[in-house]
Structure 1
Amino acid sequence: MTKDFNIVIVAQSGRLEFEALIFAASLRAKSPKFKGRLLVAEPQPGPKWNGDPRIRPAVREALESLNAEILPFENQNFGHGYPNANKIECLKEVPTDKPFVFFDTDTLVLDEITDVPFDFDRPAASMRREPTWPKIELYGPGYHDTWNALYTQYGLDLSTAEDSSYPEEFWRRYPYFNAGFFYYRDAAAFGARFMEIATGIRDNPPAELVCQEIWPWLDQIALPLVLHSFGGGFGALEDGWLDGKTTCHYRVLPLAYARESDKVIETLETVTAPNKLKKVLKQYDPIKRMIYQGRGAKVRALFDRDALPRKEQAIRNRIKKEGFWMR
């Protein structure tokens, strides 16, 4: 298992560029043994975008001060209408001389990332997910028939992708992941397969998906098939590392303050404290208010981390009721 790999994130003008800066700061603070390249993929202006999606100069300069490399890419199939697919489109530009690990920008590095036992021949993705897709209709196809239709369309065997420790028609049995991280030995091959399956589902979905909403879940619908096609999926990464002790996919700052551990919040506030970063990060109002003006502490006081609501929506609703929601 090689410890020599590159990290890829996607950033563009707005929230993601500031999250990318926090990610980079946490990587440098918490993973001094990481010697690969931190590649910040940046969509370029073009017909797929309304306006200019590029990173603003002050953030670009701050990222480069943390030895991040800006990696421009062109959108050919998606863009403004579905920016989630930037994580697919950018992979064609990622160097293939080393394996890659992709992270969403709303992620913190908490510990030495080179200690994670990546097997780059067996790709994996985040198990920190909720049953957001598919939504099962009373008289419609169940979980098995819905997923099986997709696997069959792409010549894959669903029975070898399931987690048989769960019963039939329980959502956790079926290969659904959060796309907050994924990895493989070859970015170009992974990206090409990801694009093939995502555009195929978009343009030619099987009949079993007729009642299913594919937006904004398309990347997470396609991802399990990509993982399985390369020999990965359930069990490819030992539990407890990513989205565990080594990284945290916090999603948005109010959710981070509401539900994440003291270690996560301490890391967040420590890596954003240096004045040279604070000057840039304060340009984004939710960061300024949540981290630097104490709104995050007020959100944190609303919740008992040992007795959180079972569903994320309940946490969001409580924060919104108190007037503290921002993103």
Structure 2
Amino acid sequence: MLIVAQGGGIDRQAAILAASLRRNAPGFRGRLIVAEPQPGGAWSGSDPRMSPRARAALEAFGAEIRPLVARDFGRSYPHGNKIEALALLDPGRPFLFLDSDTLILGKIGALPFDFTRPSASMRREGSWPQPPAYRQTYESIWRSLYDRFGLEMEGSLDLSQPDEHWERFLYFNAGWFFGADGPEFGRRFRDWAVAVRDDPGEALACQSLDPWLDQVVLPLVIHSFGGGRPASGLAGLDGDVTWHYRNLPLLYARGPRRAIDELEAIAALPEIAPLLSGWTAAERLIRAGQGRATIRPMFADYPPHAPERGIRKRLKQAELWLD
């Protein structure tokens, strides 16, 4: 299992993830590997390393920390950490990448992963692409990418969805993904992401690639390795086995009660509690109780699949969109 941890708050999220893994999947037989970006390279001019307290917490929960010297993304595109970090993994061994703002809620090692058929999170919205009127379509934009990398697109389509509906095309959230060989997967992911970033091509000329670059290239890489949409047996990811909470206001607004209970229990652990000091969202929503007392009731009647944009807007209006 691979995650990324660096200063600025991602390190404390990583420590919370590690604590949740040890609490809720005590029989997990894999390794939790933490990629820590280093000064220099693509992070030149800044020090992205994690705090000593977060490092100590991760080590206390059994994580193995490996230094990541970014070459291609770094400060210019921090989401690229997950792409470059795959090179730190051992060749020939299956991997699961998780965003650090994720909670482990159950026995993740018991899920029926088929690592020969890579997949990724389907908990996403139609965020990319945004076809310009009268110029490009979902079909033409995605096909330009498949053609560019020598891939057939037809086998990736969900034919139950109508033409020009975004869900017809293979599109993932990059909050989790897995495959059979981390370095091999990472090489292709990195090479293709750099190629698209440096030369988007005519079809992508009007499309934003920041922050979407990883989610643009991920389905191409997964399809190229014979993967696709996750099998039904993996429904516990983004469900009762893991929860990608993204940030604390969103967790209280739409996360399952189980995830909130677990986060609050972890926040009280002696290894974690010191990391929350100075974290405005944690101090107000967890310690002062505003998450349960204020945010939770605000969204009690919201539809379960309401667009995130509306949730964010309401939280901001209430001055509860906190980092």
Q: Quickly name the TM-score band, shorter chain normalised.
A: over 0.9
* Residue number in structure 2 paired with 1:34: 28
Q: Is the 8 A contact 2:121 2:230 kept in 1?
A: no
Q: Check 1:180–1:305 CA distance in 2 against 1; reply closer, same or farther (3 A cut).
A: farther
Note the alpha carbon deviations across 1:7-34, whole angstroms, 9 max, x for none. 1000100121111011111111110110
Report the RMSD for the aligned CA atoms in angstroms: 1.4
Equivalent residue, structure 2, for 1:320? 316
Aligned equivalents of 1:139, 1:207: Cα separation in 2: 14
1:21 aligned to which of 15, 18, 21? 15
Q: Which amino acid aligns with 1:286?
A: A
1:63 CA displacement: 0.8
Structure 1 range deviating more: 228-237 or 27-36: 228-237
Matched residue, 1:73 = 68
Amino acid at match of 1:138: A
Any unmatched runs of 5+ in structure 1? 1-6
Partner in structure 2 of residue 169 of structure 1: 164
Distance 2:168 2:303 in 1: 26
- Once the two structures are superposed, the pairs formed by residues 33-72 of structure 1 within 5 Å of their partners are 33-49=27-43, 50-72=45-67
Q: Give the 5 Å matches for 1:174-323.
A: 174-236=169-231, 238-297=233-292, 298-304=294-300, 307=303, 310-323=306-319
**Normalising by structure 1, what TM-score?**
0.95
Deviation string for 1:6-62 (max 9, x for gaps)? x10001001211110111111111101102111110011004223100011111011
Do the aligned partners of residues 239 and 168 (structure 1) sit closer, same or farther apart at CA in structure 2, a change above 3 Å counting? farther
Identity %: 45
Q: Structure 1 residue runs of 4+, over 6 Å off?
A: none
Q: Secondary structure at the match of 1:238?
A: helix
Instruction: Report if the CA contact (8 A) 1:18-1:284 is conserved.
Output: no
Aligned mates of 2:198, 2:249 — CA distance in 1: 36
**Contact kept in structure 2, 1:30 and 1:110, CA below 8 Å:** yes
Distance 2:74 2:98 in 1: 19
The CA distance in 1 between the partners of 2:130 and 2:258, in whole Å, is 35
Residue correspondences, number:
321
- Asked whether the equivalents of residues 74 and 81 of structure 2 are also in contact (C-alpha less than 8 Å), the reply is yes
The CA deviation at 1:310 is 2.1
- 1:89 has 2:88 as partner: no
* Cα deviation digits, residues 87-131 of structure 1 (max 9, x gap): 001111112253110000111111100121100000000000000
* In 2, Cα distance between equivalents of 1:182 and 1:47: 26
Letter in 1 for 2:300: D
By how many angstroms is 1:79 displaced?
0.7
Q: 1:134 to 1:292 in 2, by over 3 A?
A: same
Structure 1, 46-55 or 170-179: larger mean CA deviation: 46-55
Counterpart contact for 1:309–1:315, Cα < 8 Å: no
Query: Is the Cα contact below 8 Å between 1:118 and 1:237 reproduced in 2?
Result: no
Distance apart, 1:280 and its partner CA: 2.4
**TM-score, with length taken from structure 2:** 0.96
